[in-house]
Amino acid sequence: MADSSLSSLPLSDKVALVTGSSTGLGLAIAKELGRRGAKVALNYAHNQVRAERALNEFQATGSTGIMIPADVCSPEGVADLVSATEAQLGPVDILIPNATGPQPQRPIEDYDWAFYQEMVDFFIKSPFLLTQATIAYMKAQKWGRIVNIGSEVYEVAHPNFSAYVAAKGGQKGWTHSMATELAPFGITVNMVSPGWIPTERHADDPQEAKDAYLAGIPAGRWGTPEDVADAVANLCTPQSAFITGQTICVNGGRSPL
């Protein structure tokens, strides 16, 4: 595809918004959507230096994009994010709610409701707010793509992770409900659920845990951020118009589904 003109790329007339995209899976997703021709609004919450580095990396691929700071768990932050995207790139056609916070693993006795609420805010409240803020244009044009980022932990019943797993389960249910609600408008809503994909946040994870996980992957290798990004981008193409309400597990065959 290297010799193709921008207008021949499958997403060349689309605007994508990817939250939490200054690092890890979010940045990989943004870069893949850009490679397929979309103009991309990237997003971060706190680390401006890292965000500037990510935007430089994104733009070095030749894609068009901007980086916008915003708290995507607040109505005000989402409103500002969507407004800035529309002003600089155009209305949002593709929405990828990817932002997340810390993910500590603890027994139930060591959690409090405040942390449970934080997980709900990231994985249910934020997609809800983002969808509300972008859905009018998608409905009007009878085309849209929403891809939530789930996790295999919901499918494999990971212990000592109840806050994260519960919120991801709620996000999956919301995905299915929205898929049914929005299908008559030509809008698809799906979920991509990665396994353990090593990114910056996993740099200090115990080596024995990494070795044990790798040994249980039927495909015999680690997944990469690019594996996840490719699955997300495929669901955003015009050719995926009849795929909605689905969960795609990107984990080398580990999940029971």
pLDDT tens string 57-111: 999 999 999 999 999 999 999 999 999 999 999 999 999 999 998 888 899 999 9
- Is 111 assigned a catalytic role? no
The pLDDT-based confidence of 3 (bands split at 50, 70, 90) is: very low
What's the rounded Cα separation, in Å, for the pair 230 and 151? 16
Confidence band for 4, pLDDT divided at 50, 70 and 90: very low
Q: Which of 44, 116, 137, 164 is catalytic?
A: 164
Q: What's the angle, vertex CA 207, arms to CA 201 and CA 213, rounded to 5? A: 85
Write the pLDDT tens digit of every residue in 177-188. 999 999 999 999
Cα three-residue angle 138-142-145, rounded to 5 degrees: 50
φ and ψ of 22, to 5 deg: -90, 0
Tens of pLDDT, residues 104-136 = 889 999 999 999 999 999 999 999 999 999 999
